Amino acid sequence: MKKVKFIYNPSAGDSAIIDKLDGIIKVYQQKGYAIFPIRLDDIYNMEKALEDINCGYSHILVAGGDGTVDLLINQMMELKVDLPIGILPTGTANDFSKYIGMPIDIIDACRQILVSRPMKMDLGKVNDRYFVNVASTGLFTDVSQKTDNKFKNSIGKLAYYLKGIEQIPNFKKIPVKITSKDAKYNGDMYMILVFNGRMAGNIELAYRAHGNDGKLDVILIKAESLVELFPLLIKFLKGDHLEEPVGLLYFQTDELYIETEDNTLITDIDGERGPDFPLRIECVKNAISVLGVNRNVLSIKKNLLRRKA
């Protein structure tokens, strides 16, 4: 019987995973798998969860938010573990699982994983930390870090928005210098997001991104007056902000360098605290194998790019 390591965060999202445990085990057993569950908590962390990972497991199943997936990826890269992973949509945002086309229903997601073939996907890397979805800095980008887990679990994504509103009084211009072979910028910004995926806060911001093209998608919101930002907001709502961008800098690259004189500025990686400045951000092509990827999502993406070209 094949073995699968199942790592789950019981407090992710609305803790829906707890009620689905029996269903997950049933689906896997029906497909001939013995499932070995690991419950993450303050004592049993990701390092302990992977202690026996070289003992014949066929793949890793993970249930948690983007932050949990980020922890898993970083531990796998540190241990040089090369196993396919399946990602269940059980966190508050689930931006990466949505990007790869996972069903919202956890049991349906398991079935999709079990009938799929692994697909090679890129990772982003900031200094010595990896990210699967997005690295960011500036206004609103550390909302997940500042939002209490109990608050997130009680009212879900609304908690992020409420926490974001609290930051409006701190709206300020941030000096930054961006260096890349594909673009350069030396001026003020409000925020910068570097995508390996496409979504942040359930909004498809980097809709031109492709998770296995060896490129990261960079979106920098320039620090202009709020009046000048209003047309950009409209374009964001329409989903065409990357077409003839005004008020932002957008480019694709495999590497960039970010510096700032603002020593209060912190970074965010998939909802977790990231490294300190300066930042060297790069794309690590085909770094992981992911199960359950809806290949039609990538086909739709290719058609979208062809249509907008």
266 and 161 part of one domain = yes
Min mean pLDDT across 135-139, 162-166, 243-247, 273-277 is at: 162-166
154 and 88 part of one domain = no
Residue 303 lies in a domain: no
Residue 134 lies in a domain: yes
148 and 269 part of one domain = yes
Residue 105 lies in a domain: yes
Summarised one tens digit per residue, pLDDT across range 123-144 is: 999 999 999 999 999 876 655 5
95 and 142 part of one domain = no
Contacts made by residues 46-53, CB under 8 angstroms, sequence distance 24+: 46/7, 46/71, 46/72, 46/74, 46/75, 47/75, 49/5, 49/7, 49/75, 50/5, 50/75, 50/76, 50/79, 50/81, 53/5, 53/79, 53/81, 53/83
- 67 vs 144: CA distance, rounded Å: 9
CATH of the domain at 63: 3.40.50.10330
CATH of the domain at 236: 2.60.200.40
Q: How far does the chain reach from its first CA to its final CA, in angstroms? A: 49
Summarised one tens digit per residue, pLDDT across range 77-125 is: 999 999 999 999 887 778 899 999 999 999 999 999 999 999 999 999 9
Share of the chain above pLDDT 90, in %: 58
**Cβ distance 130 to 275 under 8 Å?**
no
Cis peptide upstream of residue 10 (ω within 30 degrees of 0) = no
**Cβ distance 16 to 107 under 8 Å?**
no
Residue 302 lies in a domain: no
Whole-prediction pTM: 0.86
Among residues 83, 116, 149, the one where a domain terminates is 116
172 and 278 part of one domain = yes
166 and 36 part of one domain = no
23 and 84 part of one domain = yes
pLDDT of residue 165: 40
The amino acid at residue 247 is G
Residue 264 lies in a domain: yes
Residue 249 lies in a domain: yes
Residue 103 lies in a domain: yes
Q: Over range 167-185, report the average pLDDT.
A: 84
Q: Which is higher by pLDDT, 260 or 238?
A: 260
Share of the chain above pLDDT 70, in %: 83
98 and 139 part of one domain = no
135 and 245 part of one domain = yes
Q: Over range 263-276, report the average pLDDT.
A: 90
Instruction: Retrieve residue 166's tokens.
Output: 């609290």
Q: How many CA atoms lie within 13 A of 28 on its CB side?
A: 26
What angle in degrees, to the nearest 10, is found between the helix axes of 106-114 and 17-30? 30
271 and 136 part of one domain = yes
**Cβ distance 282 to 255 under 8 Å?**
yes
Pairing relationship of beta strands 279-291 and 85-89 according to DSSP bridges: parallel
How many structural domains is the chain composed of?
2
Could you tell me the CA-to-CA distances from 41 to 22, 60, 160, 277, 301 in Å, in that order? 20, 18, 23, 30, 37
Nearest-5° angle of CA 208, CA 211, CA 215?
Answer: 75
- The average confidence (pLDDT) of the chain is 85
100 and 199 part of one domain = no
SS3 207: coil
Reply yes or no on whether the pLDDT at 160 is more than 70.
no
pLDDT of residue 170: 60
60 and 186 part of one domain = no
Quote the domain boundaries for residue 97: 2-116
Among residues 116, 140, 171, the one where a domain terminates is 116
Residue 124 lies in a domain: no
